[in-house]
Protein backbone atom coordinates (compact mmCIF):
# COMPACT_ATOMS: atom_id res chain seq x y z
CA UNK A 1 0.00 0.00 0.00
CA UNK A 2 1.42 3.41 -0.90
CA UNK A 3 1.67 5.96 1.91
CA UNK A 4 -0.28 9.25 1.61
CA UNK A 5 1.90 12.25 0.65
CA UNK A 6 4.34 13.33 3.39
CA UNK A 7 3.52 10.35 5.66
CA UNK A 8 6.82 8.48 5.75
CA UNK A 9 7.35 4.77 6.34
CA UNK A 10 6.79 4.07 10.05
CA UNK A 11 4.68 7.21 10.63
CA UNK A 12 0.95 7.03 11.30
CA UNK A 13 -1.96 9.20 10.22
CA UNK A 14 -2.73 9.71 13.94
CA UNK A 15 0.76 11.10 14.61
CA UNK A 16 0.33 13.45 11.67
CA UNK A 17 -3.11 14.56 12.84
CA UNK A 18 -1.78 15.35 16.34
CA UNK A 19 1.15 17.24 14.80
CA UNK A 20 -1.12 19.23 12.47
CA UNK A 21 -3.32 20.10 15.47
CA UNK A 22 -0.27 21.55 17.26
CA UNK A 23 0.52 23.62 14.17
CA UNK A 24 -3.09 24.84 14.05
CA UNK A 25 -2.83 25.88 17.73
CA UNK A 26 0.33 27.80 16.74
CA UNK A 27 2.41 25.85 19.28
CA UNK A 28 6.17 25.94 18.73
CA UNK A 29 7.69 22.59 17.77
CA UNK A 30 10.85 21.99 19.80
CA UNK A 31 13.85 19.73 19.04
CA UNK A 32 12.80 16.70 21.15
CA UNK A 33 9.17 16.74 19.95
CA UNK A 34 7.76 14.23 17.49
CA UNK A 35 7.74 15.66 13.97
CA UNK A 36 7.18 14.18 10.50
CA UNK A 37 10.39 13.18 8.73
CA UNK A 38 9.44 15.51 5.88
CA UNK A 39 9.06 18.46 8.30
CA UNK A 40 12.57 17.72 9.61
CA UNK A 41 13.99 17.35 6.07
CA UNK A 42 12.42 20.57 4.84
CA UNK A 43 13.71 22.50 7.85
CA UNK A 44 17.25 21.14 7.52
CA UNK A 45 17.20 22.01 3.80
CA UNK A 46 15.96 25.54 4.38
CA UNK A 47 17.90 26.42 7.55
CA UNK A 48 21.20 25.03 6.26
CA UNK A 49 20.76 26.88 2.96
CA UNK A 50 20.00 30.01 4.93
CA UNK A 51 23.18 29.47 6.99
CA UNK A 52 25.24 28.98 3.82
CA UNK A 53 23.74 32.19 2.42
CA UNK A 54 24.84 34.18 5.44
CA UNK A 55 28.38 32.80 5.24
CA UNK A 56 28.78 33.15 1.46
CA UNK A 57 27.02 36.52 1.85
CA UNK A 58 30.11 37.82 3.66
CA UNK A 59 32.13 37.63 0.43
CA UNK A 60 30.69 40.33 -1.87
CA UNK A 61 30.88 43.04 0.80
CA UNK A 62 33.97 41.67 2.56
CA UNK A 63 36.00 42.58 -0.54
CA UNK A 64 35.35 46.26 0.24
CA UNK A 65 36.57 46.40 3.85
CA UNK A 66 40.05 47.58 2.85
CA UNK A 67 38.63 49.95 0.21
CA UNK A 68 36.07 51.76 2.38
CA UNK A 69 36.24 55.53 1.81
CA UNK A 70 36.30 56.55 5.51
CA UNK A 71 37.10 54.99 8.87
CA UNK A 72 33.42 55.31 9.85
CA UNK A 73 32.26 53.35 6.79
CA UNK A 74 35.00 50.76 7.31
CA UNK A 75 33.94 50.19 10.95
CA UNK A 76 30.28 49.83 9.98
CA UNK A 77 31.11 47.39 7.19
CA UNK A 78 33.39 45.29 9.41
CA UNK A 79 30.63 45.02 12.02
CA UNK A 80 28.09 44.07 9.34
CA UNK A 81 30.24 41.33 7.82
CA UNK A 82 31.00 40.00 11.30
CA UNK A 83 27.25 39.94 12.04
CA UNK A 84 26.68 37.76 8.95
CA UNK A 85 29.23 35.25 10.28
CA UNK A 86 27.32 35.18 13.57
CA UNK A 87 24.02 34.64 11.74
CA UNK A 88 25.57 31.67 9.95
CA UNK A 89 26.58 30.23 13.32
CA UNK A 90 23.09 30.60 14.89
CA UNK A 91 21.56 28.98 11.84
CA UNK A 92 23.99 26.05 11.68
CA UNK A 93 23.21 25.46 15.37
CA UNK A 94 19.46 25.61 14.66
CA UNK A 95 19.90 22.96 11.93
CA UNK A 96 22.00 20.84 14.32
CA UNK A 97 19.04 20.68 16.73
CA UNK A 98 17.31 18.67 13.99
CA UNK A 99 20.15 16.14 13.75
CA UNK A 100 22.11 17.67 10.86
CA UNK A 101 25.87 17.63 11.34
CA UNK A 102 28.11 20.57 10.55
CA UNK A 103 30.38 18.35 8.46
CA UNK A 104 27.51 17.14 6.27
CA UNK A 105 26.11 20.65 5.82
CA UNK A 106 29.48 22.08 4.76
CA UNK A 107 30.08 19.14 2.44
CA UNK A 108 26.64 19.70 0.89
CA UNK A 109 27.50 23.35 0.26
CA UNK A 110 30.89 22.60 -1.28
CA UNK A 111 29.56 19.85 -3.55
CA UNK A 112 26.47 21.89 -4.60
CA UNK A 113 24.10 19.38 -2.96
CA UNK A 114 22.80 22.39 -1.02
CA UNK A 115 22.05 25.78 -2.48
CA UNK A 116 22.68 29.25 -1.09
CA UNK A 117 21.07 32.50 -2.10
CA UNK A 118 21.48 33.45 -5.77
CA UNK A 119 22.07 37.06 -4.77
CA UNK A 120 25.59 36.39 -3.49
CA UNK A 121 26.82 35.18 -6.89
CA UNK A 122 26.66 38.75 -8.23
CA UNK A 123 29.86 40.82 -8.26
CA UNK A 124 30.37 44.10 -6.41
CA UNK A 125 31.74 46.64 -8.90
CA UNK A 126 31.75 49.90 -6.96
CA UNK A 127 31.53 51.18 -3.40
CA UNK A 128 27.81 52.00 -3.76
CA UNK A 129 27.18 48.25 -4.21
CA UNK A 130 27.88 47.94 -0.48
CA UNK A 131 25.10 50.44 0.27
CA UNK A 132 22.75 48.87 -2.27
CA UNK A 133 23.27 45.40 -0.73
CA UNK A 134 22.35 46.88 2.65
CA UNK A 135 19.26 48.65 1.33
CA UNK A 136 17.91 46.04 -1.10
CA UNK A 137 19.39 42.67 -0.09
CA UNK A 138 19.02 43.17 3.66
CA UNK A 139 15.67 44.82 2.94
CA UNK A 140 14.44 41.73 1.07
CA UNK A 141 15.98 39.38 3.65
CA UNK A 142 14.22 41.22 6.51
CA UNK A 143 10.81 40.96 4.84
CA UNK A 144 11.31 37.22 4.54
CA UNK A 145 12.89 36.70 7.94
CA UNK A 146 10.34 38.76 9.89
CA UNK A 147 7.82 36.29 8.54
CA UNK A 148 10.08 33.35 9.50
CA UNK A 149 10.38 34.72 13.07
CA UNK A 150 6.79 33.51 13.44
CA UNK A 151 7.53 30.04 12.03
CA UNK A 152 6.51 26.85 13.82
CA UNK A 153 10.00 25.54 14.65
CA UNK A 154 11.15 27.11 17.94
CA UNK A 155 14.95 27.31 17.42
CA UNK A 156 14.59 28.77 13.91
CA UNK A 157 11.98 31.32 14.94
CA UNK A 158 14.06 32.48 17.92
CA UNK A 159 17.22 32.78 15.79
CA UNK A 160 15.22 34.93 13.36
CA UNK A 161 14.22 37.42 16.06
CA UNK A 162 17.84 38.26 16.82
CA UNK A 163 18.98 38.11 13.21
CA UNK A 164 16.21 40.48 12.10
CA UNK A 165 17.13 43.08 14.70
CA UNK A 166 20.73 43.06 13.46
CA UNK A 167 19.67 43.08 9.80
CA UNK A 168 17.56 46.15 10.52
CA UNK A 169 20.76 48.09 11.28
CA UNK A 170 22.29 46.75 8.06
CA UNK A 171 19.27 47.91 6.10
CA UNK A 172 19.36 51.38 7.64
CA UNK A 173 23.06 51.95 7.01
CA UNK A 174 22.64 50.88 3.37
CA UNK A 175 19.68 53.16 2.81
CA UNK A 176 21.42 56.09 4.52
CA UNK A 177 24.48 55.60 2.31
CA UNK A 178 22.53 55.41 -0.97
CA UNK A 179 20.23 58.35 -0.16
CA UNK A 180 23.35 60.42 0.61
CA UNK A 181 25.04 59.47 -2.69
CA UNK A 182 21.80 59.99 -4.65
CA UNK A 183 21.85 63.60 -3.43
CA UNK A 184 25.61 64.03 -3.84
CA UNK A 185 27.94 64.89 -6.71
CA UNK A 186 27.10 63.76 -10.28
CA UNK A 187 29.72 60.99 -9.87
CA UNK A 188 28.15 59.80 -6.62
CA UNK A 189 24.66 59.87 -8.15
CA UNK A 190 25.91 57.85 -11.12
CA UNK A 191 27.58 55.33 -8.78
CA UNK A 192 24.32 54.85 -6.84
CA UNK A 193 22.30 54.50 -10.07
CA UNK A 194 24.78 51.93 -11.50
CA UNK A 195 24.46 49.91 -8.32
CA UNK A 196 20.65 50.03 -8.48
CA UNK A 197 20.73 48.99 -12.16
CA UNK A 198 22.72 45.89 -11.22
CA UNK A 199 21.03 44.87 -7.94
CA UNK A 200 17.34 45.59 -8.62
CA UNK A 201 16.41 42.43 -10.54
CA UNK A 202 18.63 40.08 -8.48
CA UNK A 203 16.97 41.47 -5.30
CA UNK A 204 13.50 40.66 -6.67
CA UNK A 205 14.70 37.16 -7.67
CA UNK A 206 16.25 36.32 -4.32
CA UNK A 207 12.80 35.93 -2.76
CA UNK A 208 12.35 32.76 -4.81
CA UNK A 209 10.37 31.63 -7.86
CA UNK A 210 6.77 32.71 -8.41
CA UNK A 211 4.30 30.76 -6.28
CA UNK A 212 3.12 28.66 -9.21
CA UNK A 213 6.73 27.48 -9.73
CA UNK A 214 7.62 26.98 -6.05
CA UNK A 215 7.48 23.26 -5.22
CA UNK A 216 8.17 23.67 -1.49
CA UNK A 217 5.73 26.44 -0.56
CA UNK A 218 2.70 24.13 -0.21
CA UNK A 219 4.07 21.89 2.51
CA UNK A 220 6.03 24.70 4.19
CA UNK A 221 2.81 26.72 4.50
CA UNK A 222 0.81 23.70 5.68
CA UNK A 223 3.29 23.19 8.53
CA UNK A 224 3.59 26.84 9.53
CA UNK A 225 7.19 27.24 8.37
CA UNK A 226 6.32 29.78 5.68
CA UNK A 227 3.57 32.16 6.80
CA UNK A 228 3.64 34.02 3.47
CA UNK A 229 4.37 32.86 -0.07
CA UNK A 230 7.35 34.01 -2.16
CA UNK A 231 5.15 36.39 -4.18
CA UNK A 232 3.52 37.84 -1.07
CA UNK A 233 6.91 38.64 0.45
CA UNK A 234 8.12 40.05 -2.89
CA UNK A 235 5.04 42.31 -3.00
CA UNK A 236 5.81 43.66 0.49
CA UNK A 237 9.41 44.31 -0.54
CA UNK A 238 8.31 46.09 -3.71
CA UNK A 239 5.67 48.21 -1.99
CA UNK A 240 8.22 49.52 0.51
CA UNK A 241 11.29 49.89 -1.67
CA UNK A 242 9.95 51.11 -5.04
CA UNK A 243 8.56 54.43 -3.72
CA UNK A 244 11.58 55.02 -1.46
CA UNK A 245 14.07 54.54 -4.30
CA UNK A 246 12.06 56.87 -6.54
CA UNK A 247 11.86 59.44 -3.76
CA UNK A 248 15.65 59.28 -3.45
CA UNK A 249 15.80 60.42 -7.09
CA UNK A 250 16.89 57.10 -8.57
CA UNK A 251 15.46 55.38 -11.65
CA UNK A 252 14.27 51.81 -11.20
CA UNK A 253 15.45 49.79 -14.24
CA UNK A 254 12.01 48.40 -15.10
CA UNK A 255 9.99 50.17 -17.82
CA UNK A 256 6.87 48.20 -16.83
CA UNK A 257 6.93 49.19 -13.15
CA UNK A 258 3.64 50.79 -12.11
CA UNK A 259 1.10 50.95 -9.32
CA UNK A 260 -2.20 49.11 -9.72
CA UNK A 261 -5.63 50.38 -8.67
CA UNK A 262 -5.17 48.89 -5.18
CA UNK A 263 -1.90 50.81 -4.71
CA UNK A 264 0.37 47.78 -5.08
CA UNK A 265 3.52 48.21 -7.13
CA UNK A 266 3.71 45.83 -10.07
CA UNK A 267 7.02 44.82 -11.66
CA UNK A 268 7.71 43.67 -15.23
CA UNK A 269 8.64 40.08 -16.15
CA UNK A 270 11.55 38.56 -14.22
CA UNK A 271 14.23 36.70 -16.22
CA UNK A 272 14.09 33.37 -14.39
CA UNK A 273 16.59 31.81 -16.81
CA UNK A 274 19.19 34.17 -15.30
CA UNK A 275 18.11 33.13 -11.78
CA UNK A 276 18.65 29.41 -12.45
CA UNK A 277 21.89 29.98 -14.38
CA UNK A 278 23.26 32.03 -11.46
CA UNK A 279 22.29 29.32 -8.94
CA UNK A 280 23.98 26.62 -11.04
CA UNK A 281 27.17 28.65 -11.42
CA UNK A 282 26.71 29.01 -15.19
CA UNK A 283 26.46 32.79 -14.83
CA UNK A 284 27.96 35.06 -12.18
CA UNK A 285 30.50 34.17 -9.52
CA UNK A 286 29.15 30.83 -8.21
CA UNK A 287 32.33 28.91 -9.01
CA UNK A 288 34.58 31.58 -7.46
CA UNK A 289 32.40 31.77 -4.32
CA UNK A 290 32.59 28.02 -3.77
CA UNK A 291 36.34 27.98 -4.46
CA UNK A 292 36.77 30.66 -1.77
CA UNK A 293 34.71 28.64 0.72
CA UNK A 294 36.67 25.48 -0.16
CA UNK A 295 39.96 27.34 0.47
CA UNK A 296 38.66 28.57 3.85
CA UNK A 297 37.64 25.00 4.71
CA UNK A 298 41.09 23.66 3.75
CA UNK A 299 42.99 26.42 5.54
CA UNK A 300 40.89 25.89 8.68
CA UNK A 301 41.60 22.13 8.85
CA UNK A 302 44.38 22.58 11.42
CA UNK A 303 42.04 24.53 13.72
CA UNK A 304 39.46 21.73 13.64
CA UNK A 305 42.20 19.13 14.30
CA UNK A 306 43.60 21.15 17.20
CA UNK A 307 40.13 21.57 18.69
CA UNK A 308 39.42 17.87 18.40
CA UNK A 309 42.72 17.01 20.09
CA UNK A 310 41.93 19.48 22.88
CA UNK A 311 38.44 18.03 23.36
CA UNK A 312 39.83 14.47 23.46
CA UNK A 313 42.35 15.45 26.14
CA UNK A 314 39.69 17.27 28.13
CA UNK A 315 37.39 14.20 27.91
CA UNK A 316 40.19 12.09 29.41
CA UNK A 317 40.54 14.60 32.23
CA UNK A 318 43.99 15.67 31.10
CA UNK A 319 44.69 19.28 31.94
CA UNK A 320 45.10 21.52 28.91
CA UNK A 321 46.18 25.17 28.85
Which positions touch ligand FAQ (CB under 6 A)?
A: 45-46, 49-50, 53-54, 57, 84, 115, 117-118, 133, 137-138, 141, 144, 206-209, 214-217, 220, 230, 279
Q: Which CB sits closer to ligand FAQ, 118 or 193? A: 118
Which residue number, 15 or 83, has a Cβ lying nearer to ligand FAQ? 83
Name every residue whose Cβ is closer than 8 Å to that of residue 273 and which is 6 or more positions away in sequence. none
Q: Is 302 exposed, middle or buried (0-12, 13-18, 19+ CB in 10 A)?
A: exposed
Rounded CA gap, 298 and 303, in Å? 10
Strand extents, DSSP E, the chain: 258-259, 265-266
Tell me whether residue 146 or residue 230 sits nearer to ligand FAQ (CB atom): 230
Do strands 258-259 and 265-266 pair parallel, antiparallel, or not at all (unpaired)? antiparallel
Burial 157-185 (b: 16+ CB within 10 A, else e): bebbeebbebbeebbebbbebbbebbeee
Residue 224 zone, left/alpha/beta (φ > 0; ψ -120 to 50; rest): left
Q: How far is the CB of 14 from ligand FAQ (least distance, A)?
A: 28
Q: Half-sphere exposure of 40 toward its Cβ, with a 13 Å CA cutoff?
A: 15
| Shortest separation between residue 307's beta carbon and ligand FAQ, angstroms | 26
CB of 179 to ligand FAQ, least distance (A): 18
CB of 237 to ligand FAQ, least distance (A): 12
Which residue, 46 or 98, has its beta carbon nearer to ligand FAQ?
Answer: 46
Cβ contacts of 168 within 8 Å, gap of 6 or more: 142
Taking the least distance from each CB to ligand FAQ, the nearer of 166 and 189 is 166
Considering beta carbons, is residue 146 or 217 the nearer one to ligand FAQ?
217
Nearest distance, CB of residue 256 and ligand FAQ, angstroms: 22
| Residue 153, strand partner residues | 29
Q: Whose Cβ is closer to ligand FAQ: residue 111's or residue 251's?
A: 111
Shortest Cβ 49–ligand FAQ spacing (Å): 5
Q: How far is the CB of 211 from ligand FAQ (least distance, A)?
A: 8
Distance CA(176)–CA(143), nearest Å, equals 18
Amino acid sequence: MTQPKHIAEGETAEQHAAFEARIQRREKIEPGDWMPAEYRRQLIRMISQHAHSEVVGMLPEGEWIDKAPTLKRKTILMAKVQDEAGHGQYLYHAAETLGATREDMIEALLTRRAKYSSIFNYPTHNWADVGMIGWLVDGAAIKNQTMLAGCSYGPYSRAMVRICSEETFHHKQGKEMIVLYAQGTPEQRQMAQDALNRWWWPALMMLGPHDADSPNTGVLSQWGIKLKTNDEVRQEFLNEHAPELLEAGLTIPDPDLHQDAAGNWVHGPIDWSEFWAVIKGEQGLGNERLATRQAAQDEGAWVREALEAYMNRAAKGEAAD
